[in-house]
Amino acid sequence: MPAEETVLVLRFSAVGDVVLTAPAIEALRAALPKARIVYAVKERLAHLLLHNPAVDEVVALRPGEGPWNYARRLRAVKPTVVLDLHGKIRSKILRALMPGVRKVVWHKRDFRDTVPVKLALRPYHSSMLFADRYHKAVEELVGRAVPRGRLRYFLGPDDVAEAERVLRAAGIDLSRPIFGLSPGANWETKRWPAERFAGLARRALAAGVQVAVQGSESEAGLGALIAQLSPGTVDLCGKLDLRALGGFIARCAAFAANDSGPMHIARALGVPTLAFFGSTDPAMFDFTGHQLLFAGVECAPCSFFGRRRCPRGHFRCMLDLDVDRAWNALEPLLRKGRLPLLSA
Ligand code: SF4
């Protein structure tokens, strides 16, 4: 591939999915050191990429911006190849609006999985790591096998300072360890119950660890409930923007989260992480050095992304995970210190 190549990477959302492209982008940069790598992402998520040294430029999709206008701005970077790591209707339209440019598209999952899992005929079992699928697309683009990149998240220069400002204002002592909780997730069946997060928080507080719960504004109810049920827990829901979220997670001695964007940021920062999986498949990700709780009930994983409610009504995939089990998994993580970076 000649030096003047410009690779346009498409991945617009969500937080976790964008973070998970980091190993592929690192591999792409190593394989094509002279190429220009331009990343197209939603404006509200652009910060996830702005400090990645493998990315030369970010072209952010503005709120409400139509495909014609965005395609015009993307064509202006003069891509010689489009690497579509999104693979949904939005990226399909944009690809169509860039005729004459080579396209490489990631293969999300085997189509034979999609219909039976959606119809709840059988559980989903991922045959490979999510990041491996991104990596395969990179190899297709460069036309040869290339070494895997690492799962990394690059903080901005002020991210930790901004998080520390919020933590100090909330009464956190920055000289003592902090255990971070992230009880939210986009889908209800991906959420370990808030009452159990509160039970875990009480154990940590009793062990002398400070606890702070993080979430979006829409997750304020979860944070308030946990803070109420575990007096001493600091509720940061709605107080951390994307910059400060990374800074906060980086300041945690350990982090507990559902299958969600903050969980992937924590792994990408090497923060020892306790992850709760219910209706989705943990085999999509590497938890080496971290702790994964997955009940493994016979109906799980019943979905790719999660569901609004349990189709069986018992929700055992999460309710079988009790606080004792979570504390036993968390305790060694609190003593562990920063972990080596993963490849997925
Ligand atoms: S318990 Fe319910 S939500 Fe969980 S995996 Fe089984 S069917 Fe899905």
What pLDDT does 344 receive?
Answer: 52
Predicted local confidence at residue 164, as pLDDT? 96
| Sheet order of strands, 291-294 included | 234-235, 210-213, 178-182, 254-258, 273-277, 291-294
Cα 222 to averaged position of ligand 1 atoms, centre (Å): 21
Q: Which of 117, 115, 116, 76 is nearest to 97 (CA)?
A: 76
Q: How far is the CA of 122 from the centre of ligand 1 (A)?
A: 11
- Return the pLDDT at 130: 86
Pocket lining: 260 vs ligand 1, CB cutoff 6 Å: no
Report the nearest atom of ligand 1 relative to the CA of 299. Answer: 6
Task: Provide the pLDDT for residue 285.
Answer: 95
Give the pairing of strands 81-84 and 57-61: unpaired
| pLDDT score at 128 | 82
Query: Within the chain, what is the greatest distance between any pair of CA atoms?
Result: 63
User: What's the CA gap between 280 and 84, in Å, rounded?
Assistant: 24
> Pick from 35, 38, 24: which is nearest to 85 by CA?
24
Q: Which atom of ligand 1 is nearest to the CA of 307?
A: 3
Of 316, 318, 319, which is best to mutate to test ligand 1, by the most ligand atoms within 8 angstroms of its C-beta? 316
Q: What's the pLDDT score for residue 224?
A: 98
Closest-CA residue, ligand 1 atom 2, reads: 310
User: What are 72's two structure tokens?
Assistant: 């015009």
User: Does 315 contact ligand 1 (Cβ within 6 A)?
Assistant: yes
Domains of the chain: 6-142 (3.40.50.2000), 159-334 (3.40.50.2000)
Q: What is the pLDDT along the chain (344 residues), one digit of tens a residue?
A: 555 899 999 999 999 999 999 999 999 999 999 999 999 999 999 999 999 999 999 999 999 999 999 999 999 999 999 999 999 999 999 999 999 999 999 987 666 667 666 677 677 777 788 889 999 999 999 999 999 999 999 999 999 999 999 999 999 999 999 999 999 999 999 999 999 999 999 999 999 999 999 999 999 999 999 999 999 999 999 999 999 999 999 999 999 999 999 999 999 999 999 999 999 999 999 999 999 999 999 999 998 888 999 999 999 999 999 999 999 999 999 988 777 666 55
Return the pLDDT at 27.
98
* Separation of CA 312 and ligand 1 centre (Å): 6
- Cα 314 to Cα 187: distance, rounded to the nearest angstrom: 16
Which DSSP category does 342 fall into? Answer: P
Give the global pTM: 0.95
Joined together, the tokens standing for residue 305 give: 């992304």
CA–CA gap between residue 15 and residue 219 (Å, rounded) = 16
pLDDT for residue 212? 98
